[in-house]
C-alpha cells in the first residue's frame, strides 16, 4: 500500500496525447467484429485504431509534443508504462522513447501495472521529484509516457474484455519540481493482491507468451476465478481498496469530492463506468470526460493522461479548478490523484477551447 503524499512542489509542465483515427463501433458491428447489443450496453461510439504505428512510437510522438509544450529539452527520469505487447521480445521500450523523444542518458524505466500503469508511473515520478535535485542539478524533471496498440492475433479490441472497447495511442506527461501550469496535490495507490487471479483464472503458467490462449480472453479468466469465490467478497475487497485510495488522496490534498470540478476516469463502457465510479462516488457524468472517451476507447495505461490533456486542451480549465484522476488496474491496484490548475497554459488557444465548447 502506498500512502498518499502531499506534494505542493510537484508541477505538471506539459501533457500531450497522440491518437490515430477513430473506427466507428457501427463499422465493427457491420464487419461482424462486435455485437450490436454490446455496443448499446457500453454506449461507445468509436475507438482509436493505429494502422502501422508501433505503441512506443506513439508514446514518443506524444512525448515530443509534451516536452515542446513544457519548453523543456531534458529530463532526469523517464518512465514508460504499457498494457500490451510493445513490438519486440526482450526489449526495452522505455529506451526507445528516450532515444526518439529526448536523446539523453538519464534512467529510462518500464512500468507495468496494466491499466493502472500510467498512474503507477505518476506515483514513482512524484517520489523522484520529492527527493529534490541532486548535487549540480537545478531541477528534477520526469517524463511519463504510455503507449499501447491492441492488435490481433493476440488481442481482440472488441471482445477480449466485454464491456470495454480498447483504443490505440500514446500519451505523455512532463513533471517538474520548479515550473508548471498545474500542481499535483496528492496521489495514492492501494493494492488488493487477493484479486490477482481475476486475470489469470485457472490457466496454467505458460512457457512463452500466448502459449495457453492464442487470444487474450479476460472474460474466461474472470469466470474461472469467480467459480470458486463468493462474488460479494470479491466486490467488497475491490471496493475497499478503491475507496481507500480515493479517501487517502482527498485527505492528503485537504479536499472532498464536493470540491472537485472535473473527473478523469478510465475509458470504460457506460455500464462499468457507472457501477465502478459514477454511482459509487456520486459523480455526475457531465463532470467527467465520458463524451470524449466514448469516442476513443480504453487506452491501456494512458486513459488518465489522455483525459487530462483533453480537459486542458479542449475544455478550458481555469486557475483554481480541481481535477481528480481515478484509475484501476489488474493486480488489482487502485490509484487516485488530485490535481490543481494554476493557470491556463500558453499553448492552449482560446479558439480551440471555444470550438470544443
Q: Which of 200, 238, 205, 244 is nearest to 222 (CA)?
A: 200
State the pLDDT at residue 43.
Answer: 97
State the pLDDT at residue 132.
Answer: 79
Describe the crossing of helices 117-130 and 303-314 by its angle, rounded to 10 degrees. Answer: 80
State the pLDDT at residue 357.
Answer: 45
Whether the predicted model's global pTM rises above the 0.85 cut: yes
Residues paired with residue 2 on neighbouring β-strands, in sequence order: 189
Mean pLDDT in order along the chain per 10 residues (357 residues): 56 98 97 95 97 97 98 96 96 98 97 96 95 77 98 95 96 95 97 94 91 92 92 92 97 97 97 95 96 98 98 91 97 96 90 55
Residue 72 CA to residue 101 CA, distance in Å, equals 11
Residue 4 CA to residue 251 CA, distance in Å, equals 8
State the pLDDT at residue 349.
Answer: 78
Cα–Cα distances in angstroms (integers) from residue 168 to residues 36, 48, 148, 206, in the given order: 21, 5, 6, 26
Contact 93, 147 (CB under 8 A): yes
State the pLDDT at residue 352.
Answer: 59
Amino acid at each position: 500500500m502506498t500512502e498518499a503524499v502531499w506534494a505542493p512542489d510537484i508541477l505538471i509542465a506539459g501533457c500531450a496525447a497522440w491518437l490515430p483515427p477513430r473506427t466507428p463501433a457501427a463499422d465493427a458491428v457491420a464487419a461482424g467484429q462486435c455485437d450490436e447489443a454490446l455496443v448499446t450496453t457500453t454506449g461507445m461510439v468509436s475507438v482509436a485504431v493505429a494502422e502501422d504505428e508501433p505503441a512506443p512510437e506513439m508514446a514518443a510522438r506524444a512525448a515530443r509534443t509534451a516536452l515542446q509544450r513544457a519548453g523543456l529539452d531534458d529530463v532526469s527520469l523517464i518512465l514508460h508504462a504499457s498494457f500490451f505487447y510493445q513490438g519486440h521480445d526482450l526489449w526495452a521500450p522505455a529506451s526507445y522513447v528516450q532515444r526518439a523523444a529526448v536523446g539523453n542518458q538519464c534512467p529510462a524505466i518500464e512500468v507495468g501495472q496494466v491499466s493502472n500503469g500510467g498512474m503507477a508511473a505518476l506515483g514513482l515520478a512524484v517520489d523522484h521529484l520529492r527527493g529534490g535535485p541532486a548535487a549540480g542539478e537545478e531541477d528534477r524533471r520526469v517524463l511519463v509516457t504510455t503507449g499501447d496498440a491492441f492488435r490481433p492475433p493476440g488481442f481482440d479490441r472488441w471482445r477480449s474484455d466485454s464491456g470495454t472497447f480498447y483504443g490505440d495511442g500514446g500519451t505523455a506527461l512532463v513533471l517538474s519540481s520548479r515550473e508548471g501550469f498545474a500542481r499535483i496535490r496528492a496521489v495514492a495507490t492501494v493494492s488488493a493482491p487477493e484479486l490477482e487471479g481475476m486475470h489469470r483464472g485457472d490457466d496454467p503458467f505458460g512457457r512463452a507468451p500466448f502459449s495457453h490462449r492464442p487470444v487474450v480472453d479476460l472474460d474466461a479468466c474472470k469466470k474461472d476465478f469467480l467459480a470458486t469465490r463468493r462474488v460479494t467478497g470479491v466486490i467488497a475487497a475491490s471496493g475497499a481498496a478503491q475507496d481507500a485510495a480515493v479517501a487517502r488522496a482527498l485527505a492528503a490534498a485537504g479536499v472532498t469530492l464536493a470540491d472537485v470540478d472535473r473527473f478523469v476516469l478510465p475509458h470504460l463502457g457506460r455500464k462499468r463506468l457507472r457501477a465502478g465510479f459514477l454511482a459509487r462516488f456520486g459523480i455526475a457524468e457531465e463532470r467527467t470526460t465520458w463524451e470524449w472517451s466514448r469516442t476513443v476507447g480504453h487506452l491501456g495505461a494512458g486513459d488518465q493522461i489522455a483525459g487530462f490533456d483533453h480537459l486542458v486542451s479542449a475544455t478550458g480549465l481555469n486557475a483554481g479548478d480541481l481535477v481528480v484522476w481515478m484509475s484501476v488496474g489488474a493486480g488489482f491496484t487502485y490509484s487516485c490523484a488530485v490535481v490543481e490548475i494554476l493557470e491556463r497554459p500558453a499553448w492552449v488557444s482560446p479558439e480551440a477551447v471555444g470550438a470544443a465548447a
